[in-house]
Every structure is written in C-alpha cells, then in structure tokens.
C-alpha cells in the first residue's frame, strides 16, 4: 500500500520530471505499480514477481528512490520498499487537465502486456489514457457506456470498448466499486424482489 512521501512540499519540477520519466518507461512504471500494490517489498520480491534480472531490479529501485517515488521502510537487510503516493495534476497541450495517480501509472505499465492499452496510448497519449481511465471508473459504476465515451471523445465505439475492457482490472485494483443491480445468480435463483415487497 502506498503512502505519502516524507518530504513536506518537495521540488515540484523534480517531482514532475520524475513522474514524466516513470510514464515514459513501462518497466519502471510496472515496478512502481507493483510496489504500490503490494507495499513493503524487497528487491528480490520484485525481481521474482516481475521477471526482472536482480541487477536490473536493484538499478530500477535505486532510480525510484532517487526520484522520491519509493522509500525504504526498514533499516535491516533485506531492505524493504514502499511507494510514495503520486497525485499530480498536469495540463496537456490542448488545455485539458488530468491527474497522474498510481492507477494511471499501473495502466501505463500494462502497455507492455496489453496490446489494447499500448495502441490506445500510441493514438491518444498518456492524457488520453488518463481520460479513458476516468470513463472506465464511471462505466464500472454503471454511469456511462462505451458509446457515450466514444461520442464524447470522438473515437470509434470499438476503440472505446477495447480500452474500457483493458482498464477494468486497473479500476478494480484501485477503486472501490459498489455493485449495481442484482447479480445473475440472484436473478436465476428468483431472489429478486420489488421495492414494495418485504
């Protein structure tokens, strides 16, 4: 579980550049996302889980430490690391704002393993993925459809559906989603009651 960095205000420019680097390198983003999800991990944990050579994992953790995106949580060996929260709002070139969060970093990290996310980022950039992630949360809450997203963003309904499906695991990892309506099991078992029934 990630937590806020220990530095009070920090250097905003340094933070921005560190996070920009993180979003440009999916392997580093994947490592950050893993540490943010798992919390208090060792380099060996990360190396084994993510399939990284130990030397690469150590180097990448050092980069995250230097950037202030992770911190050491133990003094003894093996050292354990936890992710610092990221919550940075930036404007894209078109005047739209979006917020960089651990969920967005995780979504970017998945571009190496998910062709739909990779294609969406290639066509719409990180800002576009951040917007799609917002729609994905709203969709899981039952507030929008892929067609509404497609109309709003002037993309094809197929492109909207593909990225929404690809982002679904990220949404469920980072957002508490209240189930809407009755489950299929409830309907099939005849346990659905009207509002006026006891």
pLDDT in tens, 56-112: 999 999 999 888 889 999 888 889 999 988 877 877 666 777 888 889 999 999 998
Q: What is the largest CA-CA distance in the chain?
A: 64
| Helix (H) or strand (E) segment spanning residue 189 | none
Do 70 and 83 form a contact (C-beta atoms < 8 A)?
A: yes
E runs forming strands in 8-129: 70-72, 81-83, 88-91, 97-100
In angstroms, rounded to a whole number, what is the distance separating the alpha carbons of residues 130 and 124?
A: 10
Domain(s) of CATH 1.10.10.10: residues in the chain: 12-83
| Helix (H) or strand (E) segment spanning residue 48 | helix 43-50
| Helix (H) or strand (E) segment spanning residue 148 | helix 146-153
3-state secondary structure (DSSP) of residue 159 = helix
Give the pLDDT of residue 90. Answer: 76
Residue with tokens 């995250």: 64
A 10 A CB-CB count for 90 gives 15
Confidence band of 1 (pLDDT split at 50, 70, 90): very low
CA gyration radius, the chain: 19
Confidence band of 146 (pLDDT split at 50, 70, 90): very high
Please give the CATH architecture assigned to the domain spanning 12-83. Orthogonal Bundle (1.10)
Query: How buried is 168 (Cβ within 10 angstroms: 0-12 exposed, 13-18 middle, 19+ buried)?
Result: middle
In angstroms, rounded to a whole number, what is the distance separating the alpha carbons of residues 65 and 133?
A: 27
Give the pLDDT of residue 109. Answer: 92
In angstroms, rounded to a whole number, what is the distance separating the alpha carbons of residues 136 and 169?
A: 10
């Amino acid at each position: 579980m990630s937590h806020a960095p220990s530095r009070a205000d920090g250097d905003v420019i340094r933070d921005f550049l560190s996070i920009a680097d993180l979003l440009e390198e999916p392997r580093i983003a994947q490592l950050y996302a893993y540490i943010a999800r798992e919390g208090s991990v060792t380099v060996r944990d990360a190396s084994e889980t993510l399939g990284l050579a130990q030397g690469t994992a150590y180097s990448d953790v050092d980069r995250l430490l230097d950037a202030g995106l992770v911190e050491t949580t133990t003094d003894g060996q093996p050292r354990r690391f936890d992710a610092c929260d990221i919550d940075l709002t930036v404007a894209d070139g078109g005047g739209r704002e979006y917020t960089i969060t651990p969920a967005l970093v995780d979504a970017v990290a998945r571009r190496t393993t998910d062709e739909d996310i990779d294609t969406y980022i290639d066509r719409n950039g990180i800002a576009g993925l951040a917007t799609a992630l917002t729609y994905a949360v709203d969709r899981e809450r039952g507030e929008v459809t892929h067609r509404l997203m497609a109309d709003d963003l002037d993309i094809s309904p197929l492109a909207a559906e593909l990225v929404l499906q690809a982002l679904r695991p990220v949404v469920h990892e980072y957002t508490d989603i209240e189930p809407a309506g009755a489950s299929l099991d409830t309907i099939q078992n005849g346990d659905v009651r009207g509002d006026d029934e006891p």
